[in-house]
Structure 1
Amino acid sequence: MSLFNLMSNLSQNDTPSLRLFRKSESSDDEEKRLKRREKNRVAAQRSRRRQTQRADELHEAYECLEQENSLLKKEVQLLIEEQQRLTEALKAHEPLCPALNCGMTPTTRCTVPPEFV
């Protein structure tokens, strides 16, 4: 008798206890599979929740950086305007300044008379 025929005969002539054992074995496998699926489902939910939380944190950081960038741009603009005002004031003062009109060379120092200080 071949192995195939022997296995066929065994499956046809299963005793009730052998059938119960096989049923119990498949029930255990099914239970393990369900537990594994449940653990996987919980892990996937946890992963999605962390991913969403991370995306929320990044969005919040982005908004803070955008606000800070906007404030810095305004500050730069104010500083540019102040620089322009000071440059204009210096240009207006140059013709009147005795310190600039004293024939100063890079090696000599010009002193401002006390009445201009």
Structure 2
Amino acid sequence: MSLFNGTSNFIRHDASSLRLFRKSESSDDEEKRLKRREKNRVAAQRSRKRQTQRADELHEAYECLEQENSLLRKEVQLLIEEQQRLSDALKAHEPLCPVLNCVSWL
């Protein structure tokens, strides 16, 4: 099919070349699309894995803080009880205290 054999041969030859070009272009586009999808899939997996790891780390930190909070609450309760005992001891001592009952030094 030569270019010089008439217009219809030129058109058929040109259309055939165009189809091959489009097919080649289409398969290249398809290959690029598949590569892009694969890269995106891998990136999404990495992102989900990082999210899961971050959630696990936060949960672990939460549990540690809850445990520390519980220990601190117990310590506060013990200190409140000690303060109450010391206040009671001071009140019991006040009537018997010679220093507090002595007015001469004021």
Same topology, TM > 0.5: yes
The residue type paired with residue 14 of structure 1 is A
Q: What CA deviation, in whole Å up to 9, does each residue of 1:49-95 have, x standing for no partner?
A: 11111111110111011000100000000001101111111111111
1:1-117 alignment, distance < 5 Å: 14-15=15-16, 17-103=17-103, 108=106
- In 1, distance between residues paired with 2:82 and 2:91? 14
The residue type paired with residue 101 of structure 2 is N
What is the Cα-based RMSD across aligned positions, in Å? Answer: 2.0
- In 1, distance between residues paired with 2:91 and 2:38? 79
TM, length-normalised to structure 2: 0.82
Q: Which runs of 4+ in 1 moved over 4 A?
A: none
Cα 1:62/1:14, change in 2 over 3 Å:
same
Which structure is richer in relative contact order (CA contacts within 8 A, separation 6 or more)? 1
TM, length-normalised to structure 1: 0.74
Q: Percent identity?
A: 85
Unaligned runs of 5+ in 1: 1-9, 109-117
Unaligned runs of 5+ in 2: 1-10
Q: CA offset at residue 18 of structure 1?
A: 3.1
Q: Which has the higher helix share?
A: 2
